[in-house]
Structure 1
């Protein structure tokens, strides 16, 4: 393991094993990944901030603990990249926005606290669509991230920085957040694994809010077992989050190991009929159907399930999420923290607030704030926001009825592969369609995972598995079984 480049190609599980036995030091592993970031991130732009000093200090602490004979956790010494939506004490947290440029929080989010406690090494903060509003990471105030499979294409969004860091071998693990597909969709288009846990199964304390009833932090990795191990570290009840579920995390690691044996005997999977061919590219559907056949050969029973209200998920989501965003983002007013514009002593507080928000928010964030404010306004609340919440209830009923018949639901993750940068920014609706298949899971609150299932036009295709609430282990079992047949995918060398 003298060649540092070798260390960046290992799985998180392999790295942890080397660190635990002393075959490689955590410092050596961390330096290898910092070197990789220095070599390729000028082209990928996965990171907004690289904390080299903090990462090496954390790695040295892991090495000292091992030398002292302490028993290390299953991910100790493994580098991780964190989406810039989670607060990190003393480290810039911008949420991809100019309105928080340079802000260094005085506290860690629960997710970051748990990562530190597990001995993982935080490399830095990854790029994202501003306030997690986007499907391509083109709406970042700091420039787009590029897909390592093809640098002219998007890496998905809003968490494209985390997925691109994985695909570019800049980090073996990453953290994302999923409000309408922002973990799963980037995973799909970069050939990586992205898991959205059950809502409330991971803490939102310290997660800068976009849509409070939908936001869910979760694990990103290059294989299913690594994602499960990371899920186990960050999941579980947090009394500081009022929406946190007071139950232990299902045994996702055991489920991933079971799935890797390739036996799905007794597992019943439902293909969502509304998502078969629904605006999806032929290459995406071909890879999906090949994967369904592979799962059937592993012993799974495959049936078709109709979820009739899923077709209304997209419009419902784009009323509910912007409504919650218009409320959550009201705190960014140029008074309490962040950017402050126009405070020359001659303007009223209202003028300063208006100038600050005009300068600090990008076009997509403004669009959603205005949409949400309108949907919540007097005379329109019942017609828009109220109706959207009724649709959300119907979608939940669809899921409930489906899970009475099957153990998990399956579909493509996205209707299309990674599209060229700039191809959809002029048409917001076309951009929103990237989350067509992922949004229902967020409205329901259950878990979903995307795993690579093939290539179309030389670009990755994602396969989505959706499970009942607090049955996250089911999706990991099916995902690992598919991975055992299909394998993992390596992008062209950068």
Structure 2
């Protein structure tokens, strides 16, 4: 196996046993980026010199016996997570030249763990989109079929992992932005419980929904990364001081004591592709064969989730993005002498069409006379959805569903049809509204050879149950060794 094709777990063992060096592994990954990223377009910034310097430091740590699981492992970072001294753009012209003066907490924790950061990954601008076509700089393509979307908004992260351009990556998930691209690119991605991972240094989209999480080639790789970044952070007021177990140490000892819920609301969902439905049904049978008991559960307010989300998320985005006014930092149209014209011109030029659309939606929903009818009502629906999950989890340990209603579709298909793009989040965004964890694990392929993901959701802070089920399903399904034909 070539070095860039290694999983984090495999590479970590080789590094510990001094069979390879981090500089050797990092160079292989950088060479892979140079060879294939021209086709895929996953990276916005490649920090080759910085990565090699970090790899040399990692080798010194390894020589001294510091063999933490991420020491010397090359990772990619979604470009809305602040990295000190390394450009962080949010894939927006508004922040095209922004270089943060500090690291996000998750970056500090990765560096403390000895990880090597090779660069920053493309995304939908300010994480607003499901296709990574809404980047202000470039389109990212699906490594399995370069004419298809990789999903979004963490499409660069998923595509880079799938194409072996990094051994793992961080993304963020506001309504499915880790799980959906993981599904489309055939990798594993987990959205942790809201509050499990610090958001300090994450450029905000919707503050009550955003959560950072890992994408990896395997379930174990995601567990290793989550071990490194999870935990309370006093710099983040929404971070929860909940004990963090070792996710990587969770035993795979059968599922005979596990009850899995199958939501009746999802089986006949609008736009569900028969191939996706069939792959998920096969996955459920595999989980049953591992000893789990599957039961029907009810999530009665699911039909209202998309509408509620697309009021709450744009409303919070409208508030968060008000800071980009051309005065404090970021892009400014210097040709305008009048202050109001400068505001208008700066925001018109600095933000792309999708971001402008959501700011307008959110500003309208928050405006006087409409707040109670829109944002207030959506917040009530959010509470009902959270209560639906709590009721369902009274009778089961986890809930399984599709991740996306279809396999990855052609680039350009929804550019003039944002509603169809919004509806592609139908299976994922309820977990964000409820704040619960969810993981996407590959469960099959379409007739066209495109990956399909299975979503597993659990109670608040019960990521161990997700890893337990996902790890054993992954082993039984035995499809994560397949590689895209780049």
Scaled by the length of structure 1, the TM-score of the pair is 0.97
Match of 2:74? 79
Correspondent of 1:314 among 298, 306, 320: 306
Correspondent of 1:275 among 266, 270, 287: 266
Match of 2:463? 472
CA RMSD of aligned residues (A): 1.0
Match of 2:118? 123
Correspondent of 1:250 among 242, 245, 250: 245
Runs of at least 5 residues in structure 2 that lack an aligned partner in the other structure: none
- Supply the distance in 1 between the matched residues of 2:388 and 2:203 (Cα, whole angstroms): 30
Match of 1:327? 319
Structure 1 residues 344-383: Cα deviation after superposition (integer angstroms, max 9, x where no partner): 5xx2222211111010000000000000000000000000
Contact 2:163 2:484 in 1 (8 A): no
Shift of 1:248: 2.2
Correspondent of 1:299 among 254, 268, 291: 291
Contact 2:23 2:59 in 1 (8 A): yes
Correspondent of 1:202 among 184, 197, 200: 197
Shift of 1:489: 4.7
Residue 354 (structure 2) pairs with residue 358 (structure 1): no
Shift of 1:20: 1.4
Match of 2:138? 143
Match of 1:58? 54
Match of 2:173? 178
Shift of 1:492: 3.2
- Supply the distance in 1 between the matched residues of 2:374 and 2:248 (Cα, whole angstroms): 41
Say which SS state the counterpart of residue 308 (structure 1) adopts. Answer: coil
Match of 2:161? 166
Match of 1:432? 422
Match of 1:443? 433
- Supply the distance in 1 between the matched residues of 2:178 and 2:476 (Cα, whole angstroms): 23
Residue 39 (structure 2) pairs with residue 47 (structure 1): no
Aligned residues: 483
Shift of 1:7: 0.5
Match of 1:400? 390
Runs of at least 5 residues in structure 1 that lack an aligned partner in the other structure: none
Shift of 1:71: 2.1
Residue 371 (structure 2) pairs with residue 385 (structure 1): no
Say which SS state the counterpart of residue 404 (structure 1) adopts. Answer: coil
Match of 2:339? 349
Match of 1:421? 411
- Supply the distance in 2 between the matched residues of 1:351 and 1:296 (Cα, whole angstroms): 62
Structure 1 residues 403-444: Cα deviation after superposition (integer angstroms, max 9, x where no partner): 100000110111000000001111001011111100000000
Match of 2:15? 19
Match of 1:452? 442
- Supply the distance in 1 between the matched residues of 2:129 and 2:426 (Cα, whole angstroms): 13
Shift of 1:21: 1.5
Say which SS state the counterpart of residue 435 (structure 1) adopts. Answer: coil
- Supply the distance in 2 between the matched residues of 1:280 and 1:493 (Cα, whole angstroms): 26
- Supply the distance in 1 between the matched residues of 2:84 and 2:482 (Cα, whole angstroms): 34
Describe the shift of the 1:237–1:75 C-alpha distance in structure 2 as closer, same or farther (beyond 3 A).
same
Shift of 1:102: 1.4
Shift of 1:456: 1.0
- Supply the distance in 2 between the matched residues of 1:289 and 1:237 (Cα, whole angstroms): 37
Shift of 1:17: 1.1
Contact 2:261 2:398 in 1 (8 A): yes
- Supply the distance in 2 between the matched residues of 1:112 and 1:66 (Cα, whole angstroms): 20
Match of 1:156? 151
Match of 1:461? 452
Structure 1 residues 179-220: Cα deviation after superposition (integer angstroms, max 9, x where no partner): 000000000000000100000000000000000000000010
Equivalent positions of 1:285-296 (< 5 A) are 285-296=277-288
Structure 1 residues 49-69: Cα deviation after superposition (integer angstroms, max 9, x where no partner): 0000110000000111222x2
- Supply the distance in 2 between the matched residues of 1:172 and 1:433 (Cα, whole angstroms): 31
- Supply the distance in 1 between the matched residues of 2:347 and 2:292 (Cα, whole angstroms): 52
